[in-house]
């Protein structure tokens, strides 16, 4: 009887925890949606007045009414998340790290392998979808031409964005869920991280990155390595997008160099990280009802509500594009 009561109590707890994390994502999504509406309104007003009054280019409005509000939205969600979960950010993640430069270096090489793997998977399914005459909606990652806008763009995409996202997904959600099982926490936080990006172009990549970063955070007991790796990932993408614009030949040579590093990274991924993640999975599958835990993570009011909102917005984006 005590075992049954304990199981029921744990079921209720994991449902509440997963629902609470999902509600955080709903807050992010709805506030971001309002930010996008503001962006559309500003663009329409700017177009109506032929940019004579507001003088706003698409680059300027994209950054000032697209990216900048997201920074404040992320901060609001972090404050709410820390309060809800009662997590001490400094105590749990900054002062407890067990990592060194070697950990970061191996993580970077592994990340290159993961990006090669995810890009290959994306190429396959995007080719199939495009062959059916369906266009996959793609976010605007165009590198700004205005120098002032570039600075803000780089600060957000390469520094502030990665830091804030790692605090939310690995600092709060992963840490809050790991008491119900490390594998559950890694996968659940990675799924929310994937949905957070709100597009099907960035689907496989953030899912695999979320799993890798989650494992590294648990292994090192710190979000510092994942923050550094996230910054490296976004910075690489930003630098390459700029180089492709100014020097395609150089970009091609750098891509060849990247493939060499990525090949080594794939070996590390499958022989080290994925192997260790599988060991966590095997252990938890034997020691606890892993299937029941996942059902409780994804079948609760908060997550189902988030899934409905997510699916609706994705569908709207698809209809607007096709």
Query: For the chain, how far is it from start to end, CA to CA, in angstroms?
Result: 56
Beta carbons of 204 and 262 less than 8 angstroms apart: no
Measured torsion, CA atoms of residues 114, 116, 122, 127, in degrees rounded to the nearest 10? -160
Of 183, 226, 168, which Cα lies nearest the Cα of 24? Answer: 168
Beta carbons of 73 and 196 less than 8 angstroms apart: no
Name the one residue in this structure whose structure tokens are 């964005």. Answer: 161
Q: How many other C-beta atoms can be found within 10 angstroms of the C-beta atom of residue 298?
A: 15
pLDDT at 78: 94
CA 114, CA 207: separation in Å to the nearest integer? 11
pLDDT at 6: 40
CA 92, CA 11: separation in Å to the nearest integer? 25
pLDDT at 14: 92
Please report which residue ranges of 144-223 form alpha helices under DSSP H: 147-154, 161-166, 175-177, 182-196, 204-220
Name the one residue in this structure whose structure tokens are 């979000």. Answer: 223
* Tens-digit pLDDT string for the chain (322 aa): 333 334 344 666 899 999 999 999 999 999 888 877 776 776 676 655 555 444 556 677 677 767 778 888 999 999 999 999 988 777 666 656 677 788 889 999 999 999 999 988 888 888 888 888 877 777 666 777 777 788 888 899 999 999 999 999 999 999 999 999 999 999 999 999 999 988 766 678 899 999 999 999 998 888 999 999 999 999 988 888 888 878 888 888 888 888 889 999 999 988 888 889 999 999 888 878 898 999 999 999 999 999 999 999 888 888 877 7
CA 33, CA 83: separation in Å to the nearest integer? 24
CA 15, CA 19: separation in Å to the nearest integer? 6
CA distances from 139 to 66, 199, 201, 228, 317 (A): 12, 7, 8, 24, 10
3 state DSSP class of 274: helix
CA 213, CA 186: separation in Å to the nearest integer? 9
Q: What is the pTM of this model?
A: 0.88
Q: In the chain, how long is the greatest CA-to-CA distance?
A: 74
């Amino acid at each position: 009887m005590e075992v049954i009561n304990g199981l029921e109590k744990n079921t209720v707890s994991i449902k509440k925890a997963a629902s609470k994390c999902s509600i955080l994502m709903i807050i992010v999504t709805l506030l971001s949606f309002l930010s996008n509406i503001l962006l559309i309104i500003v663009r329409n007003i700017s177009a109506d007045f032929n940019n004579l009054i507001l003088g706003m280019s698409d680059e300027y409005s994209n950054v000032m009414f697209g990216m900048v509000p997201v920074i404040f939205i992320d901060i609001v969600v972090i404050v709410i998340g820390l309060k809800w979960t009662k997590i001490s950010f400094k105590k749990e993640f900054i002062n407890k790290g067990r990592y060194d430069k070697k950990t970061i270096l191996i993580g970077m090489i592994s990340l290159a392998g993961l990006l090669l793997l995810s890009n290959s998977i994306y190429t396959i399914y995007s080719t199939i979808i495009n062959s059916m005459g369906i266009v996959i909606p793609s976010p605007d990652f165009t590198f700004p031409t205005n120098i002032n806008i570039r600075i803000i763009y780089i600060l957000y995409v390469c520094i502030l964005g990665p830091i804030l996202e790692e605090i939310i997904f690995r600092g709060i959600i992963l840490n809050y869920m790991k008491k119900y099982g490390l594998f559950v926490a890694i996968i659940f936080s990675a799924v929310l991280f994937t949905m957070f990006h709100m597009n099907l172009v960035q689907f496989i990549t953030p899912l695999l990155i979320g799993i890798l970063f989650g494992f590294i955070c648990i292994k090192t007991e710190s979000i510092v390595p994942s923050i550094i790796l996230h910054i490296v990932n976004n910075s690489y993408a930003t630098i390459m997008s700029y180089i492709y614009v100014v020097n395609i030949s150089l970009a091609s040579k750098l891509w060849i160099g990247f493939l060499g590093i990525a090949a080594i990274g794939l070996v590390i991924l499958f022989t080290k990280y994925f192997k260790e993640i599988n060991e966590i999975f095997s252990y938890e599958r034997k020691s606890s009802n892993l299937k029941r835990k996942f059902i409780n993570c994804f079948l609760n009011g908060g997550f189902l509500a988030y899934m409905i909102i997510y699916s609706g917005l994705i569908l709207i984006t698809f209809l607007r594009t096709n």
